[in-house]
Amino acid sequence: MKLTLQHKNVRSTNTLDSWVEEQIISLQPALQIDEAVISLTHDNDASPAFYVKAHLITPGPDVFAEGCDHTLQAAFLKLMESLCGKIGSRATNREKRQRNHGPHPSQPAPCVR
């Protein structure tokens, strides 16, 4: 997985970057992520001042999420909640499709004797 972190008025530190990387990698068991673009923004004039955005590039449809709050960590945790919800709903939808449709028409029906 390729990870791109964009910092806008947020100081890039090893601790922060490692924490973000660990959080994104923790999503890997539930979703194959080929590339992740994470934007961390601080705007003194806005309230709340911190805004984070994620674009996860996957083999299927890409996943987008965002979060904002008064601290960077809280905004990022909201982003992660949103990502987990979207990833979970994708898995649920996939399971529903598989249950409702049975075998693909081009596949022969299993033999029953």
Is residue 109's pLDDT more than 50? no
**Beta bridge pairs of residue 8:** 41
- Give me the percent of the chain exceeding a pLDDT of 90: 69
Pick the more confident residue, 73 or 98.
73
What predicted TM-score, i.e. pTM, was given to this entire model? Answer: 0.78
pLDDT, position 50: 97
Dmax (CA) of the chain: 72
63 to each of 38, 87, 89, 96, how far by Cα in Å? 12, 8, 11, 20
Residue ranges per domain, the chain? 2-101
**Beta bridge pairs of residue 68:** 51
Q: Class of 2-101 per CATH?
A: alpha beta
The pLDDT tens digits of the residues spanning 75-90 come to 999 999 999 999 887 7
Is residue 36's pLDDT more than 60? yes
pLDDT, position 99: 72
pLDDT, position 88: 84
Summarize the confidence of residues 5-28 as an average pLDDT. 95
